[in-house]
Every structure is written in C-alpha cells, then in structure tokens.
Structure 1
Amino acid sequence: MKFLLVGLGNIGPEYALTRHNAGFMVLDRLAAQHGFSFSMTRLAYTAQWQYKGKQLFFVKPTTYMNLSGKAVNYYLKQEKIPVENLLVITDDKDLPFGKLRLKPKGSPGGHNGLRNIDEILATQEYARLRVGIGNNFSKGRQVDFVLGQFPEDELIQLPDYLDRAGDAALSFCTLGIQTTMNNYNQ
C-alpha cells in the first residue's frame, strides 16, 4: 500500500526555520531519524521509504506555498496513490505551539497552500496534519509572524514537537486516521 506525505513550506535558506515551513521540518526530521534523503525531482524534493510494509512517498513542493497543489496533484497521479492515502502536513496559526490536529478533511482555514491544493484536486476530502505555531502577532503582522523564525524558547522544544508530528504521520499510514486522531489530537 502506498501513501503520499506532503510537507508544506517554502524553498530557500531564508525560509528554512520559519514557522510556515513546519511541514518541511517534519519531513526533514523523519528523514534524519530514519536515514532516507530527499532528491530534487519534478516540482519537489522527494524521497521514498518502506515502513512496516507500507511504501511511503514524501514530497516537499518547490512551487512555493501558494502553488503547492501542482506538486501534490502531479505526485498523486505519477505514483498512482489514491487521495485517501494523502496526508498534507502544514503549519496552523490557529493552534498553539506544541499542539497537533489531524483531520480527515476540512477547509483551508485561511491557509493559501491548502487552498491551492483544494482548488487543483477539486476536493477537500484529504487528510491534513496541522502543526500549531501559535498566533502571537499584532493586527496586520500575520505574514511577518508566519515567515518569522521560532523564538528561542520554542526552538528548544521544536525537536520533540517535530518528532511527535512525524510519529503521527507514520501512525496515519500504519494505524489509520481514527486511531491516530485519538492518539495525537489534543
């Protein structure tokens, strides 16, 4: 059985440790822990890994956040993966830092990457793992906040947080969405 795990973010060193790159960070952490690596391919950095009898295909789109749907659609078709085996991992400013929320479907909630995926796939019926980044910004400063670096106190906690998010993503592939939601949604 094949799964497509997509981490959303923006390419380039200026975005590397920004809150908006939480999806990239989760996949990078999984790769570092389990010894697989990403290669530049069409529209994305991709990697493959066998885990507990499942074939996992990882995608970090190089299309920038707001055009993520192009890469998601391409790899769903290229790898012949059904949309029910898609998990999109993204930041969420409406969740406090440290909280995870897995949902089987939903609206983009103001997230332009999810909005573009919804438009290109013509559905909201795919799983998404939202990684809370908090919303400690003043009116009109949302862009600066999501494209900003994590503060030092959050950077200290970030490795454990990314590990939990990675564990949730692997659980989605092996135990299914309901069990994973029960175990990881707080």
Structure 2
Amino acid sequence: MPLNNHPTTVSKETLKLKPQTYMNFSGESVGPLAAYYQVPFRHILLVFDETSLPNGVLRLQPKGGHGHHNELKNVMGQLDGCSAFPQLAVGIGNPPGTMD
C-alpha cells in the first residue's frame, strides 16, 4: 500500500480513503485497505468521475461492471474480481472540443 494513503476515520465504523495513486490504479490502495480492515466488499462505496454524465449529475448503482472505466477495472481486480459493491458516478461532462 503506498505510504501516503492514510485513511480518515469519519466515525467509529466509517473510513474515507483518498488514494494518492494515479486514478487508474486506485485499486492498489482500496484492495489492501479493505483486506487490512476486513471490510466486506458490499460496504465499499467507490466514488468516481464520469464524462458520459452531465456536469453535477450523480448516478448510484448498487453494483455493476466496470464498463469502459479503467479505475473501476483496477479496483475490481484488486477485490478478487468482485463487482458487488456500490458505485457512485459523479458527472463531469464531456470536455468541449477535441484533445490532441
């Protein structure tokens, strides 16, 4: 687990983790932390940005696949391929124009 990934205790039973890894490698922090604290996968809420949703729109799914999102794919890989955890997508919209 990278050294800068210090979980914040929000309450006695809640941890908040902001991985210091590149976003597509978030699973390398989430997986070991879940194992260390013996967190059931269904108790993990993964929050991520989603360009296919308009800015500010939220989409909560109780579970699901990774779709095209490499960050979700990495987290699922670190959680033994499990996709049975809630996912909260935060819409950031598509960037205007094209990017080179």
TM-score with structure 2 length normalisation? 0.85
Q: Which residue type is aligned with residue 127 of structure 1?
A: P
| Match of residue 90 from structure 1 | 48
Question: Do 1:105 and 1:124's aligned partners in 2 also have CA atoms closer than 8 Å?
Answer: yes
What runs of 5+ residues in structure 1 fail to find an aligned partner?
1-40, 145-186
1:56-82 CA-to-partner distances (Å, cap 9, x unmatched) read 101111121121111111111111110
Aligned length: 98
Greater than 2 Å deviation, 4+ residue runs: 136-139
TM-score with structure 1 length normalisation? 0.48
Displacement of 1:43: 5.3
Question: Do 1:45 and 1:62's aligned partners in 2 also have CA atoms closer than 8 Å?
Answer: no
Pairwise CA RMSD: 1.9
Displacement of 1:138: 3.5
Q: Which residue type is aligned with residue 102 of structure 1?
A: L
Which structure would you say has the larger Rg? 1
Greater relative contact order (Cα < 8 A, sep 6+) = 2
Displacement of 1:109: 2.6
Percent same amino acid among aligned pairs? Answer: 36
* Paired residue secondary structure (2:8): strand
Question: Do 1:100 and 1:130's aligned partners in 2 also have CA atoms closer than 8 Å?
Answer: yes
In 2 relative to 1, CA 55–123 (structure 1 residues): closer, same or farther, beyond 3 Å? Answer: same
Q: Distance in 2 between matches of 1:97 and 1:109?
A: 19
What runs of 5+ residues in structure 2 fail to find an aligned partner?
none
- The answer to whether the aligner puts 1:135 opposite 2:94 as a matched pair is yes
| Match of residue 116 from structure 1 | 74
Q: Distance in 2 between matches of 1:127 and 1:64?
A: 21
